[in-house]
Amino acid sequence: MDNGLILEVKNLRTYFTTEGKIKKVVDGLSLSIKKGKVMGLVGVSGTGKSVIGMSILNLISKPGQIVGGEVLFKGKDLLKLHERDLQRIRGSDLTLVSQDPYTSMDPLYTVGNQLVEVIRAHEAVSKKEAKEKAIELLTIVGIPDPERRMLNFPHQFSGGMQQRIVIAMAIASNPSLIILDDPTRSLDVTIQAQILSVLSQLQLRINTTMLLISASVQVVAQFADDVMAIFRGRCMEVGPKQSVFKAPCHPYTRSLFEAVPSIEGERVNRLKGLDVLHEENYAEGCVFYTYCNRAQEKCVEVSPDLVQVGENHFCACHF
């Protein structure tokens, strides 16, 4: 962990086998996150972003399997650890906030109960102290009247509130890394804004390292320090936010940004979208070949490697 990297993923490959066919959902993905930074993974749905998150946590089960690569969390390869050790890390040093808050909580226990449980599982504190910490956490995430609401059950909270509680549970153990899998997907716009605000305040306060996975380019733009564009489980472009958004190099990244309707500026009458109707598998070439408007001969044959195009900014395209 000497190089300041909390997470270092090297050449991760996760394949899914259904009915005899192998689907390379994640194929040679590498990424790294420095301490205190937020890395945003963005891409259209179905490109394997969630699977990447689950692979990092080593939570892939049949019909999927992690077939190669390393996931170095603070120097230790999570893919090689025993399940018991993994369980110690998951939920305490490496936590997850997923899309649907309601399924992340136990509907039969009060919110306070669940928080206290998480706290006491990782710190040797008395019930009373844990309770106080729980109240503190609920206040940090913005739940009004925490002492009283601690006694409520998850279903008594609205979606936005539930997600805040899940975030509280995720930070309760002072984790070194939080993975957020599209945390605002099911929320209304104003509630999403609240959650993003909570998360950014958390960032300022506790300086947590985060991996934010989202299908929404705007959310990632708002929040991440570094951005990686994923397509078909491979990295298309990666770099610091400013660099990638201002000068996107890969045609995929470009079309992602152009498809985003913006409420600012001039009204643009036509949006540009990708044609993602069919699946083609060009085994050797670039995964983006079929959709690319700059594709040439070379693209079918050779899969491009990451090429540096700016400071810390890499792009996987022949051009």
Partner 1 sequence: MTDARKPILEIRDVYKYYDLKTLTFFSRVVEKVKAVRGVTLKILEGETIGLVGESGCGKSTLSRLIVKLEFPLSGTVLFQGKDIFDSSEVDQKLFHKSIQLLFQNPFTTLSPQMTIGDHIADVLTIHHLVDGKTSIRKQVFGLLDLVGIPRTAYDSYPENFSGGALQMVNIARAMACTPKLIISDEGVSILDVSDQARILNLLQNLREKFQLTCIIVTHDLSVVRHICERIAVMYLGKIVELGQNDEIFSTPAHPYTRSLIDSIPTIRRGLEGIMVAPLKGEVPSPINLPSGCTFHPRCPLATDVCREKEPGFGEINEGHSTACHHWKEVR
Partner 2 sequence: MDLRAPASLDTVSEFTEIRRYTLLRRTLKNRSVQIGASVVLFFFFVIIFTPWLAPYDPLEMDVMNTFKPPFPLADGTVHHLLGTDELGRDMLSRLMYGMRLSFFISICSVVIIVAFGSVVGILAGYYGKLTNTLLMRLTDIQLSFPIIILAVAILSVWTSTVFTMILVLSIANWPVYARVARGLAITERTKDYVASVRVLGASNMRIIFKYIARNIGPSILIVSILDLAAIVIWEAVLGFIGLSILPPTPTLGNIMGDGKNYLASAWWVSTLPGLIMFFLLFGFMLLADGLTATTGARGQRELALK
Binding residues for partner 2, per CB under 8 A?
19, 270, 272-273, 275, 277-280, 290
Q: Is the four-CA dihedral 231, 232, 236, 238 of positive or negative sign? A: positive
- Helices then strands (H, E): number in the chain? 11, 12
Terminal-to-terminal C-alpha distance of the chain = 35
How far is it, in rounded angstroms, from Cα 259 to Cα 246? Answer: 15
Asked if 29 and 234 touch (Cβ cutoff 8 Å), the reply is yes
Could you tell me the smallest distance in angstroms from the CB atom of residue 272 to partner 1? 6
Tell me whether residue 193 is exposed, middle or buried, using C-beta atoms within 10 angstroms of its C-beta: 0 to 12, 13 to 18, 19 or more.
middle
Closer CB to partner 1, 4 or 46, in the complex: 46
Q: Is the four-CA dihedral 127, 133, 139, 143 of positive or negative sign? A: negative
Closer CB to partner 1, 260 or 302, in the complex: 260
For the chain, the maximum distance between any two Cα atoms, rounded to a whole number of angstroms, is 68
Among 162, 222, 253, 303, binds partner 1 (CB under 8 A): 222
256 in contact with partner 1 (CB under 8 A): yes
How many of the chain's residues bind partner 1 (CB under 8 A)? Answer: 49
Part in contact with partner 1 (CB under 8 A); list of ranges 98-106, 112-120, 130-138, 264-272 = 264-272
Asked if 103 and 116 touch (Cβ cutoff 8 Å), the reply is no
156 in contact with partner 1 (CB under 8 A): no
22 in contact with partner 1 (CB under 8 A): no
Q: Which does 173 bind (CB under 5 to 8 A by kind): partner 1, partner 2, none?
A: none
Collapsed DSSP state (helix, strand, coil) of residue 170: helix
Q: At what angle do helices 127-140 and 189-206 cross, to 10 degrees?
A: 120
Among 25, 33, 44, 141, binds partner 1 (CB under 8 A): 44
Could you tell me the smallest distance in angstroms from the CB atom of residue 271 to partner 2? 9
Could you tell me the smallest distance in angstroms from the CB atom of residue 290 to partner 2? 6
Each residue 226-255 as x (binds partner 1 by CB under 8 A) or -, in order, gives ---------------xx--xx--------x
CA-based R_g, the chain, Å: 21
Closer CB to partner 2, 246 or 270, in the complex: 270
How many residues are there in the chain? 319
Write out the residues near partner 1 by the rule CB under 8 A: 44-46, 158, 160-161, 188-194, 196-197, 200, 215-223, 241-242, 245-246, 255-257, 259-264, 267-277
